[in-house]
A = this chain, B = another copy of it.
Amino acid sequence: MATIGDVAREAGVSRSTVSYALSGNRPISLETRQRIDAAIAKLGFTINAGARALATSETMVIGLLLQFHDDEFPPAMLQYILAVSTAARESGYDILMVTDSDGPGAVKRITSSNMVDGVVLLDVTHEDPRLDALRAARQPGALVGLPRNTEELDVFDLDFGEAARILVDHLYGLGHQQVVLVSPPRHVFERGGAYGWRFRDAAVERAARYGMQIYPYYGESQQPGISRSLNAILDARPQATALIVHNDASIAVLPSVLHERGVEVPRDLSVVSLYSQDFGRSFLLPYTAVETSPDTLGREAVQHLVRRMSNPDDPVVAKFIEPVLTIRGSTA
């Protein structure tokens, strides 16, 4: 493999000159630059990323930390992964994807060994054990999901409270008085997935203000439990005229459950939910829903992370992206 030294020799200049030509950090005469370019082409030289990282203390790699919990619906996660990866590449970074079950250990490992310049944490919980490790790290981080303590950390999430209010308002506007809410599985709440209660509490509060009846339930995450629980919920509340589903796994199977029950939307039941456009397309979900925008979220997280790498002392940001309602005609 050709090194910068080989290029230098071939071009008849010093190594530092080649380096400057490569980085553009100092002026180089046109003629020298051309000789260097020719040498690079001739030798097929590519800069050694590791050596550059050692010299510059910049790896141009971002760590992406995620875990697959049993209580989560994998397809939903993929959209974040892809968004982060794409956004990173646009900023010149590569992605080191880490799925260790030991989250804090993984954060520690990749930060303290200097494998990455920064870290994106997906699916952050209320008391996320990874955060201490992240705070102790030299590298900055960006969180997707809202922890209890956001000190020193940049967080990005959907405004679930507002999402809930938008959906409740929408149903209230149509005259619904009895509403069932399907939340994420109980286990998500226990784990500290704050989006669960942020949404639920806001929905309950808003419904109460309107004098609506709202009946919250936990969903399930694995078949056949998902269908079973949906059926049980619907059986339990026959008088409800609307359903709010805040759970990817449940919404994905809802069409077949409703079909099986002979329930027609929106004639017999109005349905609203939260999911991304892509997710809805994969599963043919025809419901009026708040867009969860994993692509925007992933991209924002990466962009802010990259910015913070160069400006470590910028004020911390907490960005809650605004939920947008997409009307798909599943309410009446």
Residues of A within 8 A of B (CB): 1, 44, 46-51, 53-54, 59, 61, 64, 68, 73-75, 77-79, 81-82, 85-86, 89, 94-100, 110, 112-115, 138, 222-224, 226-227, 249, 252-253, 255-256, 259-260, 278, 281-284
Contact = CB atoms under 8 A, between A and B. Distances in A.
Contacts of A255: 256
Given A112-B46, A284-B253, A94 B96 contact: yes
Given A284-B224, A284-B253, A48 B94 contact: no
A64 B115 contact: no
Contacts of A46: 112-113
Contacts of A59: 50
A259 to B, nearest CB: 5
Contact of A61 (B74, B81, B96, B284): B96
Contacts of A259: 256, 259-260
A287 to B, nearest CB: 13
Contacts of A64: 97
B61 A54 contact: no
| Chain copies in complex | 2
A97 B94 CA distance: 7
Given A1-B138, A94-B110, A95-B97, A223 B48 contact: no
A48 B113 contact: yes
Contact of A78 (B75, B94, B110): B75
Given A54-B51, A256-B256, A259-B256, A96 B96 contact: yes
Among A89, A94, A110, A138, find the residue whose CB has the most chain B CB atoms closer than 10 A: A94
Nearest to A56: B50
Given A113-B49, A114-B48, A282-B74, A100 B89 contact: yes
Nearest to A44: B112
9 contacts: A44-B112, A48-B113, A74-B79, A81-B97, A82-B99, A94-B115, A95-B98, A253-B283, A256-B259
Contacts of A283: 223, 252-253
A253 B49 CA distance: 45
A49 B115 contact: yes
A114 B49 contact: yes
Given A113-B46, A256-B256, A284 B223 contact: yes
A217 to B, nearest CB: 19
A91 to B, nearest CB: 13
A51 B115 CA distance: 10
Given A75-B75, A95-B96, A224-B284, 8 more contacts: A50-B59, A64-B97, A68-B82, A74-B79, A77-B78, A89-B98, A222-B281, A223-B283
Contacts of A222: 281
A113 B227 CA distance: 50
A4 to B, nearest CB: 13
